[in-house]
Amino acid sequence: MRIVVSGGSGRLGRPLVSDLAAIGHELISLDRTPIAALDQDGIVQVEVDLADGAAAERALRDARADAVIHLAAIAVPFSAPEETILRTNATLALTVLGGAVRAGIPRVVAASSPTVLGYGAPQGWTPKRLPLDENSPAQPWNAYALSKLLIEQTLDMLRREAGERIRFASFRPCYVIAPEEWAGAPTQQGHTVRERLDDPALSAPALFNYVDARDVAAFADTLLTGIEDIPNGEVFLVGAADALAREPLSELLPRYHPGTAGAASALTGTAPAFSSERATALLGWHPTRSWRSELALTSAS
């Protein structure tokens, strides 16, 4: 396929663009800043301010793409004023996703976030059940999480407008870990993977969720290939099959999130707090990488 990725220069965008190109797709990365020192066949970079609706739609029309994956956003909670995060991410959802529909791109996919589920709320958070999945209630408590829910709702709005002529889906990737981060590069919050494992307090705010960036790329490939065979407008959680923790979450979660002991009792062994079973059931996708194997590989090398 010929695939447009908005925000292709970001933390998830870079490995996603690279891996999808390696699979054999043609990639067009739309971003204000190109990927530095990129030397890979099958990737075209277009510099564009996606907050400019006219410029975004023009770039999407020029791409003549089979699919768009929308990643462009302020990607870290509280990394900017709340009003800036909400305004920026909501605007990008309208300009990119709406522009894709007007450009007639037949497959439109957007990245959301598990944070829409509201864990870590300052006034307390008590889930009715664990693991969390796509049927868990959305309860955003900050502008970032709300903006991600707005992205999902923007897709729903466009689906109601466009009908079945365009296929829509959104996905909520867990805490993304890129290949170089297994080797010791800092993760999104500035700590290494080993530091997050050694100090559970670092991963506790995200309920110890994570996913390898290459597994996200494989998910995106599988989704775009099978999107016509699933209900239009599906939402998927995309995470690793285990938790980023050395202890069972049945013990860790109550320690850091009071009131979760009852629900967490279901998370025995290495079970994560987030389920990707919908992606497995509808698409046949499942994660293939774990922190145990990836850290062992980087240590051996």
DSSP tag of 274: B
What is the Cα–Cα distance from 204 to 184, expressed in whole angstroms? 20
The token pair at 160 is 């109601």
| Cα four-point dihedral sign 86, 147, 11, 247 | positive
Query: What global pTM score does this model have?
Result: 0.96
Q: Which residues face 29 on adjacent strands?
A: 5, 45
| Catalytic residue, candidates 119, 144, 175, 210 | 144
DSSP tag of 50: T
Domains of the chain (ranges, CATH numbers): 2-175+212-239+275-288 (3.40.50.720)
Give the list of residues 6+ apart from residue 272 with CB closer than 8 angstroms, or none: 131, 208, 209, 239, 240, 241, 242, 243, 249
pLDDT, residue 40, reads 84
pLDDT, residue 36, reads 75
What is the Cα–Cα distance from 222 to 214, expressed in whole angstroms? 12
Cα dihedral: 7, 220, 280, 263 (round 10): -10
- What's the one-letter identity of residue 20? L
Asked if residue 11 lies in contact with residue 75, where contact means CB atoms within 8 angstroms, the answer is: yes
What is the Cα–Cα distance from 116 to 52, expressed in whole angstroms? 26
Asked if residue 287 lies in contact with residue 215, where contact means CB atoms within 8 angstroms, the answer is: yes
Distances 85 to 7, 79, 88, 144, 150 between C-alpha atoms, Å = 15, 8, 5, 6, 12
pLDDT, residue 299, reads 75
What is the Cα–Cα distance from 68 to 6, expressed in whole angstroms? 8
Q: Going residue by residue through the chain (301 aa), what tens digit of pLDDT does each one get?
A: 999 999 999 989 999 999 999 999 999 999 998 887 677 889 999 999 999 999 999 999 999 999 999 999 999 999 999 999 999 999 999 999 999 999 999 999 999 999 999 999 999 999 999 999 999 999 999 999 999 999 999 999 999 999 999 999 999 999 999 999 999 999 988 999 999 999 999 999 999 999 999 999 999 999 999 999 999 999 999 999 999 999 999 999 999 999 999 999 999 999 999 999 999 999 999 999 999 999 988 877 6
What is the Cα–Cα distance from 297 to 301, expressed in whole angstroms? 6
Nearest to 110 by CA among 74, 139, 152, 81: 152
3-class SS at 40? coil
Q: Is 119 a catalytic residue?
A: no
Query: Strand 167-173 relative to strand 107-111: parallel, antiparallel, unpaired?
Result: parallel
What is the Cα–Cα distance from 103 to 49, expressed in whole angstroms? 17
Phi, psi at 28, each rounded to 5°: -125, 115
In this structure, the chain runs to a length of 301
Query: Strand 2-6 relative to strand 167-173: parallel, antiparallel, unpaired?
Result: unpaired
pLDDT, residue 301, reads 62
